[in-house]
Amino acid sequence: MLKNTSQKNLLLVSTNEAARLLCLRPQTLRKWAMDGSGPIQPIKIGNRLRWRFIDIEELCK
């Protein structure tokens, strides 16, 4: 795990990787992104969704 908070703030993961870390299906995260219903929201880069590692880590606590 990363120890430096500034490094964590910069780390973005794909929807598939975020789903794996959260033990969810990727489609669940896509639904959260589409309707804003989830506890975390992604960053859109072009037509791709990227999820902040620090948000995922906080959600797992």
Q: Please report, for residues 1, 3, 27, 47, the alpha-carbon distance to residue 44 in angstroms, rounded to integers and kept in the order given.
A: 24, 25, 16, 7
What's the whole-model pTM score? 0.84
Mean pLDDT of 31-43: 97
Q: What is the pLDDT of residue 37?
A: 95
Residue 10 banded pLDDT, cuts 50, 70, 90? confident
Q: What is the pLDDT of residue 8?
A: 65
Q: In what order do the strands lie in the sheet with 12-14?
A: 12-14, 48-52, 43-45
CATH number at residue 24: 1.10.10
Is residue 31 pLDDT above 90, yes or no? Answer: yes
The structural domain count of the chain equals: 1
Residue 45 lies in domain: 5-59
Tokens at 38, concatenated? 């989830």
Q: How many CB atoms lie within 10 A of CB 59?
A: 14
Round to whole Å and give the CA distance between 50 and 61: 20
Residue 17 banded pLDDT, cuts 50, 70, 90? very high
